[in-house]
Every structure is written in structure tokens, then in C-alpha cells.
Structure 1
Amino acid sequence: MNVKIKDVAIRAGVSTTTVSRVLNGEKYVKEELKKRVNDAIEELGYAPSHIARSLVRNKTDLIGVIVPDLTSSFYATILSSIEQTATSNGYNLLVCNINEDIDKELKYLNIFKEMRVEGIIIMHEKINEEIRGFINSLQIPVIFSSVKPMDQSFISVIVDDYTAAYDATRYLIELGHERIGFIGGDMRDITSGQNRYVGYCNALRDHGLKIIHERIRFGDYKVKSGYERMGELLRYEQWPTAVFAVSDDMAIGAVNCIIDHGMRVPEDISVMGFDGSQMTELVRPRITSMEQPIHHMGVVTVETLLQLIRGEFEQDEDIILGHRLEVRDSCRQRLM
């Protein structure tokens, strides 16, 4: 039988308003009435509807999350941190994996609207005018995590991708490498695409090294594209002695490709990754990486969004977290 709140009220001999107050934990209900209501709930097996309770409280405790690719080790790691932080603060997540599909994103944003989420986290930056307009029309707090869209009205939690890429390239230069290959991301992405590419180029220029376009390739941040782009770099007679890949997954693909070509990492070619995902420790050789504080980024993203929901976040600037070089086994001094 589909037990409703009015059935509980009849069994307990109280009004439906009193039942609602008990369900919502309001203080000013007599203990005797609470007991009668709770006894009736147990007897009837009543399970309160989350949606119904949300309508009464005008609060859903839901956060919508847009993820571009759940197969990425980076996004899987940061999403775990976001989920843990949200749960510890009494919120639940609606996670939508769009696989870079803008039409799918619009569908999910409409679902967020229907479900009356209290806030939205977006982890990609390729938003078009239609999506931007839709988000603004929702009047729901929105925060971007790990990326910065062109629209400056949104708060982002990010690292300084330009400086991080510059530092990664400089480290390879300091190891004595001059032929440094680059496996970049989608250049439509300002954060992980353009900023990391410019950081690489400027580091070379500032250290008196030429930018050789044959040593530059672009992938999609995944292991397969890292493997394929590395294969292209190895076709040239003067293949690079070091490679900087702008994601750990692509760095792993590059390592696999080098080994499959009968060479060694780092003895023949050093490989640098970017992100600091868990995979860097699981593969062999372990990947040296310019790390984003992935777990902390997830925590800060949720905590900042909750401040926006409560109207407590007063600044209008992005939150920029620090990056750091994590030296492991995939890079070494170039032997002359």
C-alpha cells in the first residue's frame, strides 16, 4: 500500500502539519505527539518522499555536477573528493557525465532545474552562449572546478596552469634536455589547452631554446592519444630526449609507446606528466608530474559553493591553489 502523510496523521490522531513538523525535526513539538507520530510511521511503514520533504522545507540538499569524462583518472579523483565533502555537509550529488556533448549538457542542466538543485559544479570550460545564458537564467550558484571559462562572472577553483606548465618545462631544461617534446590538450580549452601550451613555449624561449613544431602534438588528455602522439614524435630522426604531456593519462600513454618502440624511460627519453593523479604511483616507472592539489581542489570547490548557496561568499575573484613538482622515476638528467 502506498502510505501517505495523511494516513500517518489519521493513525496518530494529529494534523498533517504536525506530522511534517516531526519529519523535519522541528523543536516545538510535544514529546508525546512525536512519539505518536513515530509509532504511526513505524506501524504503517511510511517512507517520506525526498521530493515532498524538499517542497516543505524549500531545500533539496542536492548539488548537480557536470563531468566531461569519468574515464579520466583526474576527474575520477576530484569527483571522489567532491562527493566526500558534500556528503559530510549533508548534501547529495547528481553526477552527469557528458562526454564532451553539449546537447547532453543542456539536457542535464534542465534535469538539475527540475530537481531544484541548490548549486552546480562544472568541470569543463567549453560552454557556448546557449549554455551560458541557461546557467545565468537559473539563478542557482554555479562554480567551476579545475577550469576557467571565458565568462568572468563565474567563480573558478584552479591552479595557475601557465606557471605550472612553465615550471614543468623548466625542470626538464634544468635536467639538461634541449629537445623537449610537447603533447598538449584541446586548444579550445583555455585552462588546460592554451595556458599550458604557452607556458611550455615561453619556458623554451626564456632559456634560449627554439620552438620546433615537429616536436609538438595535441591529444585529448587520454592514454590512447598520448600513445599515438608519442608515436608521431618518434618518427622524426631527432626525436625528443624529454616529453612534457599535459595530463598524467597522456604521459602514461607516451611511456607505453616508448617502451613498445624498444626504448627505455627515463634512460632514453624522460617523460613528465601533469595533474598528480593516483595513476602516477601505480604505473612503472612512476610518473614525475606537475601536481594540482586534486583532493584539496575538490574540498575547496564544495566549501566555496556552499558559501555561495548561503550567501556568505563575498569575493568575486577566482580561488587559485598552489601547484608543485612531484619527482618520481620517469625523468632523469640528460647524459652528454
Structure 2
Amino acid sequence: MAPKIKDVAAKAGVSVTTVSRVLNGEKYVKDDLKDRVNRAIEELGYTPSRIARSLVRRKTNLIGVIVPDVTSSFYSTILSSIEKTASLSGYNLLVCNIVEDTDKELKYLNVFQEMRVDGIIIMHEKMNDEIREMIHKLDIPLIFSSVKPANQKFVSVIIDDYAAAYEATRYLVGLGHERIAFIGGDMRDVTSGQNRFVGYSNALEDSGIRFDGERIRFGDYKTQSGYDLMKELMAAESRPTAVFAASDDMAVGAMNCVHDLGLKVPDDISMIGFDGSWLADQVRPRLSSMEQPIREMGETTVKALIALIDGREDAPGQDIILRHKLVERDSCKYIGRT
């Protein structure tokens, strides 16, 4: 059987408390006792239980992360940044991919409690009353990343999605486009659904362009959704000359549809996405996109959460809003005014 802490104590001729103090790096242990304990550990091949040590220190160095869809180019990128930053700070992740399943989320939140995670990151905003009640009762520091749910007391790390969508639409207007279609996300989402749609519609209004409901479609941020909805838009009597998609994944799906119909981006239709994920540079033509600072968002989220965990004075008390920017690539074309 593997040696236990009491075996180390017996071999070193000290108490179990002294061994525990040595393992936890406490200062007030005499050097000769430390040497005896360390020799006993080496000779016995003792490996301290991580769980036992965490209970002693009241810290597990675990962060629970709830992700709506790890297959998304946006979430895979931000998750990579979160993991890297957490690891450099001495934390490990428990990543839970809920795939929009609220029952899964409740289960994982209970797991986080049982595992005594030090903090929680949530990256979606479709919550039922049971989930809202639970997260407000949790005695665990919690932060939202990339989303700002309505009526929440927690800090969010976000961009101004309304302003970003407004600017993306005005960019297309500036290229001479008036028949601008919108492929949006789930309107149950305040951040990426409602805010981006309102930004688009207000930009049209401010540009003197009539809002046309026939050019509006809502999907689920995924590539197939973009493809299917673009097919519907292309079947309309008055085809759009440009499309603004509320995610890069949907924009790429829409581009694939245009290609399969024998048309070209941007010669026949201009296309702009949202996120600025790795996907935008991988497709051809390269996708123009309203870029979120995804990696910075992940890094900022972890650092802010750790500040909350440690109870530091610099812990954020309000939302952290990062800057977005338009990245022009090859998928949009100037057509002038008709």
C-alpha cells in the first residue's frame, strides 16, 4: 500500500501536524525537523494527497468553467487563453461543455461545489430561475466572460456588442451597400443576440436605409446555421448585396452557401463576421470581421477572478469592457451608390 502521512511522521519521529506544516511550506518549523521529514518522504516515496492538502489550505487551485459549445471557433480560442493564464497562475480548470443544456449546468454547478473550486467562470447567459437562484447562493467567487446576463450582480468581461454591431453595419453602408442582410444569433441572449441586432438595425436607421424584415434571419452561431439561413436569403426576390453575420462561424457558413450557388464573395456579395476568431484568416477569401480581443478577454477574465478569489483591493467591482476593432480582410467590396 502507498505510504501515508502517518508513516512519514513515524519514520521521521515527528507528529503528523509537523509533517503537514512541512508539506504546506509553513515557516515556523525548525530546519532539522524539515530535513528529517523530507528524508522520510524521499525514502518512503510518499506523495501527498492533493485533496488532503487542499482541505488543509482551504484552497484547491481549481477553477470551474462553463462553456456553451467548445466546438465554436470563438469559445475554443477564449478557452485556450483561459487555460494558459490559469496554468501560469497555478490554477487548473474543470471545463464543462453544456451544449445549451440547463440540466447539465445545474449538475456541473453542484460538481463545482463538491470539488470546492476556488472560482467559477460562466460563458453563456441563457439561465432559468433555478440556475439564477443557485449561482446567487454559491459562496464561490464567480465571473461572466464575453456575456452580460440581465439583472446579475456579478462582474462581466465583455466588449460593447451594440457599438461593435453598429460599426460593422455602418462599414458596409460606407461601401455603398443598402440591401444589407443580417444573420443573427439567439435573441434570448442579451449580449450577442439582442445587442448585436439592435446595433445593426439602428445603424440602418441612422443611415437612412429602410429596415426590411425579409433580410433578417436568426440562427445558433454555428456554420451550418449560417449556410441554411443564407440559402433562404438568396431565394428572396431582392437578394442582399452584403451580409452581416453575428459570428464568424455563421459568416463562413454563409460564404460556403454563396460558393455552392455559383457566386463569389465579395464580387457578388460582401460578407462581414463577428468575433475575429482564428477562422477568419483560414477561409478564402479571408473574412473581414468585427474583432473581439478574444485572448485578452480570456486572460483578463482569469486575472480578475483570481483577484476576487484572493480578496484583493484591486478586485473588480464593475464590468470590464474591452475594446473591439474592425479587421478588414478580403470579403467586402466597395460598390458605390446606385
Q: Does 1:93 align with 2:93?
A: yes
Structure 2 residue aligned with 1:181: 181
Give the C-alpha shift of residue 21 in structure 1.
1.1
Runs of 4+ residues over 3 Å off in structure 1: 313-316
Give the C-alpha shift of residue 28 in structure 1.
2.2
CA distance in 1, matches of 2:9, 2:192: 57
Q: Secondary structure in 2 aligned to 1:192?
A: helix
Alignment of 1:137-176 (within 5 A): 137-176=137-176
CA distance in 1, matches of 2:49, 2:256: 51
CA distance in 1, matches of 2:235, 2:45: 69
C-alpha offsets along residues 182-228 of structure 1, whole Å, 9 cap, x if unaligned?
Answer: 00000000000000000000000111111111111111000110111
Runs of 5+ unmatched residues, structure 2: none
Q: Secondary structure in 2 aligned to 1:27?
A: coil
C-alpha offsets along residues 21-42 of structure 1, whole Å, 9 cap, x if unaligned?
Answer: 1111112222322222222222
Q: Does 1:323 align with 2:324?
A: yes
Structure 2 residue aligned with 1:19: 19
Alignment of 1:172-321 (within 5 A): 172-312=172-312, 313=314, 316-321=317-322
Paired residue type of 1:262:
G
Give the C-alpha shift of residue 52 in structure 1.
0.2
Q: Secondary structure in 2 aligned to 1:200?
A: helix
Q: Secondary structure in 1 aligned to 2:121?
A: strand
CA distance in 2, matches of 1:224, 1:161: 23
Q: Which moved more, 1:5-14 or 1:255-264?
A: 5-14
Paired residue type of 1:259:
H
Paired residue type of 2:300:
V
CA distance in 2, matches of 1:263, 1:69: 31
Structure 2 residue aligned with 1:136: 136
Q: Secondary structure in 2 aligned to 1:285?
A: coil
Structure 1 residue aligned with 2:71: 71
C-alpha offsets along residues 251-308 of structure 1, whole Å, 9 cap, x if unaligned?
Answer: 1101111001000011110110000101111111111000011011111111111111
Give the C-alpha shift of residue 314 in structure 1.
5.6
Q: Which moved more, 1:1-10 or 1:269-278?
A: 1-10
Does the 8 A contact of 2:168 with 2:326 survive in 1?
yes
Structure 1 residue aligned with 2:56: 56
Does the 8 A contact of 2:166 with 2:196 survive in 1?
yes
Q: Secondary structure in 2 aligned to 1:18?
A: helix
CA distance in 2, matches of 1:137, 1:2: 39
CA distance in 2, matches of 1:192, 1:19: 52
Paired residue type of 2:150:
M
CA distance in 2, matches of 1:110, 1:47: 29
C-alpha offsets along residues 97-151 of structure 1, whole Å, 9 cap, x if unaligned?
Answer: 1000000000000000011111110000111221111111111111000000112
CA distance in 2, matches of 1:15, 1:231: 73
Give the C-alpha shift of residue 89 in structure 1.
1.1
Q: Secondary structure in 2 aligned to 1:281?
A: helix
CA distance in 2, matches of 1:306, 1:105: 22
CA distance in 2, matches of 1:28, 1:222: 57
CA distance in 2, matches of 1:37, 1:334: 77
CA distance in 2, matches of 1:331, 1:227: 18
Paired residue type of 1:256:
N
Q: Which moved more, 1:304-313 or 1:13-22?
A: 304-313
CA distance in 2, matches of 1:138, 1:9: 37
Query: TM-score scaled to structure 2, two decimals?
Result: 0.97
Q: Does 1:8 align with 2:8?
A: yes
Q: 1:304 to 1:232 in 2, by over 3 A?
A: same
Paired residue type of 2:319:
D
CA distance in 2, matches of 1:79, 1:257: 29
Matched length: 336
CA distance in 2, matches of 1:24, 1:141: 24
Q: Which moved more, 1:143-152 or 1:99-108?
A: 143-152
